[in-house]
Structure 1
Amino acid sequence: MTESPPGNQLTDVEEYAAAVLDVVRRIPSGRAMTYGLIAEIVGERLGRGGPRQVGSVMAGSGDRYAHLVPDDDGADPDDEGADPDEGADRVPWWRVVNAAGSPPQHHVTEALDALRAEGCPLSRDGRRVHLRRAIWFPEDEPPGRLDD
C-alpha cells in the first residue's frame, strides 16, 4: 500500500492515483511518457489500471488528487518556471502524452509551450512529442520509489 499521512489508509483508487503521480513526477525535464507506458509500469506493481485510468488520474491531479502529492518533492530546480500552471501541484502533466505523442487537446498550447521550453524533441510540425527521442523509462534512472 502507498504511504499516506499517519492514520490515513488510501483507497484503491487513491493508491493507484498516488502510484501514477509518483511516476509522472519522476519524468525528467525535456522527456515524456505515454499514458499507456505509465499504465504498464503501475500495472506491474498494482495489477490493475490502464491508459484511460492514467488519463483520469491526470485530469484530477490538480485538485482531486492534490493531497497525494508531497509538499517536499525535491523537484529539479530546472523545472522552476516551466510549469504552465503555477499551481499544478508539482506534477509535470505536460510530459504525459498519448501514443501518437500528442498532449491533451484541451491544454495543447500550454503543454507544447512547456515542452519546447524544456527542450523536449518535437515532431517537425511541432505539434507532437517525437517519442523515439523523448520517451523516458524509469529504468533510465537508479532504483527509486517504485521499487521500494
Structure 2
Amino acid sequence: MGRMSAELPDGDLPEYPEYAERVLDLAERIPPGRVMTYGDVAEWLEEGGPRQVGRVMALYGSAVPWWRVVRADGVLLPGSELRALAHYREEGTPLREAGRRAEGHVPRLDMRRARWDGQAGGPARDAHK
C-alpha cells in the first residue's frame, strides 16, 4: 500500500514531520505476520515514547500497515478490531483465541510469537523486554 495512498487531492504527497516519517518508515518495514508495539518502535528509533508513536499512527498511520504497530498487551485496536483481524488472518499473524468471557470474543495477538525485533528476518523479541 505505502504512503502513495496518502496523496493530497492535487496529487502532491503530504509533508510529514520528521519524527512521523521515521515512525512510518519503520512501520512499513515490519514484515507481514509480525508486529511491534508502540514502545518497541520508540525504542528502536531511540526517540519519543509509546504515546508519541501512538499519536503518529493515529494521525498518519493509514498510509502504512497500521495493524502491525500494536499495544503491548496484544489487544486489538479498539474500533478497528475486525479490520485488523482480517489483516492478521491474511498475513498469518499469531493470535490467541479469546476466552469465553472476553467481550465480543475477539482474539488477541500472541505477542510472544508475533513480536518483531526490527532485524530483517530476525526472531520475535522477548515479550518481557
Mark yes or no: TM-score above 0.5.
Answer: yes
User: Does residue 57 of structure 1 match 2:56?
Assistant: yes
TM-superposed deviation, 1:97 = 1.1
How far apart, in 2, do the equivalents of 1:105 and 1:135 lie?
19
CA displacement 1:36-68 (0-9 Å, x = unmatched): 1001111x2xxx311011010001115xxxxxx
C-alpha distance in structure 2 between counterparts of 1:102 and 1:52, whole Å: 16
Whole-angstrom distance in 1 between the partners of 2:42 and 2:85: 22
* Deviation by residue 1:50-88 (Cα, 9 ceiling, x = unmatched): 1011010001115xxxxxxxxxxxxxxxxxxxxxxxxx4
Structure 2 CA distance for aligned equivalents of residues 103 and 97 of structure 1: 7
Q: Which residue of 2 aligns with 1:80?
A: none
> After superposition, what is the alpha-carbon deviation per residue over 1:117-136, rounded to whole angstroms, capped at 9, x for unaligned?
11100012252110111111
Report the residue type matching 1:33 in the other structure. Answer: M
Residue 139 (structure 1) shift:
2.1
1:133 aligns with 2:98: no
| 1:96–1:103 CA contact under 8 A, matched in 2 | no
State how far apart, in whole Å, the 1-side matches of 2:115 and 2:52 are: 20
Deviation at 1:137, TM superposition (A): 1.3
Q: Is 1:29 matched up with 2:9? A: no
How many residues are aligned here?
101
Structure 1 residue 141, shift from structure 2 partner: 4.4
**Cα RMSD over matched residues?**
1.9
In structure 1, the partner of 2:125 is none
Higher-RCO chain (CA-CA 8 Å, sequence separation at least 6): 1
Q: Establish whether residue 103 from structure 1 lines up as the match of residue 76 from structure 2.
A: yes
Inter-partner Cα distance in structure 2 for 1:24 and 1:37: 11
Partner Cα separation in structure 1 for residue 53 and residue 75 of structure 2: 15
